[in-house]
Chain A
Amino acid sequence: MTSPLKRDDGDVTAVTSREQEVALEAEDQRHAQERERGLARRRRIIEQLQGEGLVLVLIVVFVVMWASSQFFLTEQNLLTAASVVSVLGVMAVAETLLVIAGEIDISIGSVMAATSVLMGVMVGAGINVWLAAIIGLLFSGAVGVVNGVITVYFKINSLVTTLGTYSIFLGVAYAVSNTATTSIGGAGFEELGSGKIGPVPVPVFFFLGLWLIGLGVARWTALGRHIYATGDNFDAAVRAGIQANMLRMGLFIATALSAGLAGIITTSELGSAAPQIGDPYLLSVITAVILGGASLRGGRGTMLGTLVAVAILGVLQNGFALLQFSTYLEDTVLGSLLILAVLTDRLVRRAES
């Protein structure tokens, strides 16, 4: 594609008459139209690469695993893998919307841990486990309020805000629990994490339920349009009468609540409260969201992309377990995927400008 952008600006300064200038601009406009068509075409190709490329990656890791392990393609294993990755998925839904709105929350892992430990303390004090779970959820929502207020009203970069709260609540979780786990169970609480409806583990329903809600919001509601607009052009959103600050507050709270829920599900599954449960999720949730096509600069991202990315991470996690690779290497792979995803986003933006 030869660039229609190229025009010798020296020519323009030489032009004096308005007619000539207008003629030149007519030429320019034709060029602009050509450029516009070219950009639209290029964007379609890139979008296809991004969308279908991601599906292709899923197929590749799936096939590789199928070939590598005879246990992979069994109903039992796939359902277990789905159950494990659903905890990540529960958080990825809200995080995707938050990233589309132009913010990020990396405190989720520690909110999970703190919620779990808080439940352990309460159950240890004789409080009903379900009541403890509800109070845990309220606590996580309160952390979302803190993240939101600091970021939105004090105009602090959300990466810094949530890095701070990440550290604060992880520290609290370890200190309060003294790194020990507390047994939690009874009153049917185990069912949340390890129960099944038919053959399907309960956490999968949490994930798919939340995902469907996220899909509906992003695609079919005015709220969804406002989330995209807020991340894309904040001033334009505010001028259009959108309560962009309230909206970002709400998304911080939703993300923290989903982390609280993930903490409760994991606590139920393990049958105990533990401060370590959030550790794997700082990296993996963000990786899933960015890999799914949500842009760190806001305004861009889809629920479908996040679903496929969560599935990819699910197969990878499962694969590492089946093949008995080091869990440390899992971090290396996740980190590489994250950087690849961010680079892809940058290349897409560059191709468009």
Chain B
Amino acid sequence: MNDSNTPAGAATVPLLEARGVTHRYGNVAALSGVDLQVMPGEVVGVVGANGAGKSTLVKILCGAVQPSSGQLLVNGEPVTFRSPKDSRQRGIEVVYQDLALATELSVADNIFLGRERRNGMLRVLDRPRMAREAEEALKSLAIEIHSVKARTGLLSGGQRQAVAVARAVLWGSNVLLLDEPTAALAVMESEKIGQLVKEVAKRRLGVVLVSHDLPQVHELCDRIVVLLRGRVVANLRRDEIDLQDIVMWITGAALAKK
């Protein structure tokens, strides 16, 4: 489906790469030697049972948690993320499952939260500019919200998550990490987020999609990485497998068969 997105010609450097990432909580290894590559325009699914290490991996990729060992690379360059601030500076944005928006603030305020546009000597908020840019960002992703000045708390869960994705796209120049973005949403809303993911990939950004919704992962992702007890047990191309295969890898049944 995303043939146009596969890198053409010469070998491309991954936008984001994890090499041998290991993380221990005390004696327990949450992740052991995890490798992951995200190419431009590629949607990489990360699946696994609860406790397989998915959320730890996302936290490491965005700098919220520092790995015990292993290396992260952005555009082939080794990096160390001490906090999410560092990863944001490298164009990596996260969308969380629990709608990380301030409901009392407007849509535009949320999109620019922490990165407000200001002008003049007094550095006052440039509200017209923020409203304009927020409108453009939403419009370019075909997200319909009647006014960016609307209070975010008045939007539906799906609309809020769409705003969160738009915010990530506006600021993320490299990779979007989506951590269970549709877990709190209804089916139709979830499909809308799926469309957004495809749109983001078309813009040659990399996407890491962590999700329990296996049909959606199978539909959206070019590659699917399966975690089992902190290890990558499979790195599958979408066209090679069907839903049943994914389930077998997640449960470990595919390993047992070998």
A residues with CB within 8 A of B: 18, 21-22, 25-26, 28-29, 32-33, 36, 39-40, 43, 216, 220-222, 224-226, 228-229, 232-233, 235-237, 239-242, 299-300, 352
Neighbouring B residues of A232 by C-beta, 8 Å: 102-105
| Complexed CA–CA distance, A240 and B93 (Å) | 10
B105 touching A222 by the CB < 8 A rule? no
| Residue of A22, A43, A233 touching B187 (CB-CB under 8 A) | A22
- Supply 15 further A-B pairs (C-beta < 8 A) apart from A32-B156, A232-B105, A352-B153: A18-B187, A40-B151, A43-B151, A224-B125, A229-B105, A229-B113, A232-B102, A233-B102, A233-B103, A237-B113, A241-B85, A241-B88, A241-B114, A242-B114, A299-B104
B156 touching A225 by the CB < 8 A rule? no
Neighbouring A residues of B85 by C-beta, 8 Å: 241
B104 touching A239 by the CB < 8 A rule? no
A221 touching B84 by the CB < 8 A rule? no
Among all A-B residue pairs, the 3 with the closest Cβ atoms: A240-B114, A222-B116, A299-B104
B residues with CB within 8 A of A: 84-85, 88, 94, 96, 98, 100-105, 109, 113-116, 118, 122-125, 150-151, 153-156, 186-189
CB within 8 Å for A233 and B154 given contacts A220-B124, A239-B94: no
CB within 8 Å for A40 and B186 given contacts A236-B102, A237-B102, A240-B114: no
| Complexed CA–CA distance, A76 and B37 (Å) | 76
- How many A-B pairs with Cβ below 8 Å? 88
Neighbouring A residues of B123 by C-beta, 8 Å: 221-222
| Complexed CA–CA distance, A241 and B122 (Å) | 22
Neighbouring B residues of A225 by C-beta, 8 Å: 105, 109, 113, 116, 125
Q: List 26 A-B contacts (CB under 8 A).
A: A18-B187, A25-B186, A25-B187, A32-B156, A36-B154, A216-B124, A220-B122, A222-B118, A224-B125, A225-B105, A225-B109, A225-B113, A225-B125, A226-B113, A228-B104, A229-B105, A229-B113, A233-B100, A233-B101, A237-B114, A239-B84, A239-B94, A239-B100, A240-B113, A299-B103, A300-B104
CB within 8 Å for A222 and B125 given contacts A22-B187, A239-B94: yes
- Chain A proximity of B193: nearest CB distance (Å): 14
- Chain B proximity of A339: nearest CB distance (Å): 23
| Complexed CA–CA distance, A21 and B191 (Å) | 13
Residue of chain B at shortest CB distance from A241: B114
Neighbouring A residues of B103 by C-beta, 8 Å: 232-233, 299
Residue of chain B at shortest CB distance from A231: B104
Neighbouring A residues of B155 by C-beta, 8 Å: 36
Residue among B113, B115, B116, B151 with the highest chain A CB neighbour number at 10 A: B113
Residue of chain A at shortest CB distance from B127: A220
Neighbouring A residues of B189 by C-beta, 8 Å: 25, 29
- Chain A proximity of B70: nearest CB distance (Å): 24
| Complexed CA–CA distance, A235 and B188 (Å) | 27
Residue among B104, B105, B116, B122 with the highest chain A CB neighbour number at 10 A: B104
- Chain A proximity of B119: nearest CB distance (Å): 11
A226 touching B154 by the CB < 8 A rule? no
B105 touching A239 by the CB < 8 A rule? no
- Chain B proximity of A336: nearest CB distance (Å): 28
Residue among A21, A221, A226, A233 with the highest chain B CB neighbour number at 10 A: A233
- Chain A proximity of B98: nearest CB distance (Å): 8
| Complexed CA–CA distance, A312 and B141 (Å) | 49
Neighbouring B residues of A22 by C-beta, 8 Å: 187-188
B102 touching A299 by the CB < 8 A rule? yes
| Complexed CA–CA distance, A175 and B111 (Å) | 53
B102 touching A43 by the CB < 8 A rule? no
A236 touching B116 by the CB < 8 A rule? no
| Residue of A221, A235, A236 touching B125 (CB-CB under 8 A) | A221
Neighbouring B residues of A226 by C-beta, 8 Å: 113-114
Residue of chain B at shortest CB distance from A297: B104
| Complexed CA–CA distance, A223 and B114 (Å) | 9
CB within 8 Å for A221 and B101 given contacts A25-B187, A36-B154, A242-B113: no
Neighbouring A residues of B156 by C-beta, 8 Å: 29, 32-33, 36
| Complexed CA–CA distance, A241 and B155 (Å) | 23
Neighbouring A residues of B188 by C-beta, 8 Å: 22, 25-26, 28-29
Neighbouring A residues of B94 by C-beta, 8 Å: 239
Residue of chain B at shortest CB distance from A26: B188
A236 touching B101 by the CB < 8 A rule? yes
Neighbouring B residues of A233 by C-beta, 8 Å: 100-103
| Complexed CA–CA distance, A239 and B105 (Å) | 15
| Complexed CA–CA distance, A2 and B138 (Å) | 32
Neighbouring B residues of A43 by C-beta, 8 Å: 151, 154
| Complexed CA–CA distance, A29 and B162 (Å) | 15
B84 touching A241 by the CB < 8 A rule? yes
| Complexed CA–CA distance, A330 and B188 (Å) | 57
A40 touching B113 by the CB < 8 A rule? no
- Chain B proximity of A219: nearest CB distance (Å): 8
Neighbouring B residues of A240 by C-beta, 8 Å: 100, 113-115
| Complexed CA–CA distance, A25 and B186 (Å) | 8
A228 touching B154 by the CB < 8 A rule? no
- Chain A proximity of B146: nearest CB distance (Å): 9
| Complexed CA–CA distance, A124 and B114 (Å) | 49
B118 touching A21 by the CB < 8 A rule? no
| Complexed CA–CA distance, A40 and B88 (Å) | 34
| Complexed CA–CA distance, A28 and B157 (Å) | 12
| Complexed CA–CA distance, A25 and B157 (Å) | 13
| Complexed CA–CA distance, A22 and B190 (Å) | 11
B96 touching A28 by the CB < 8 A rule? no
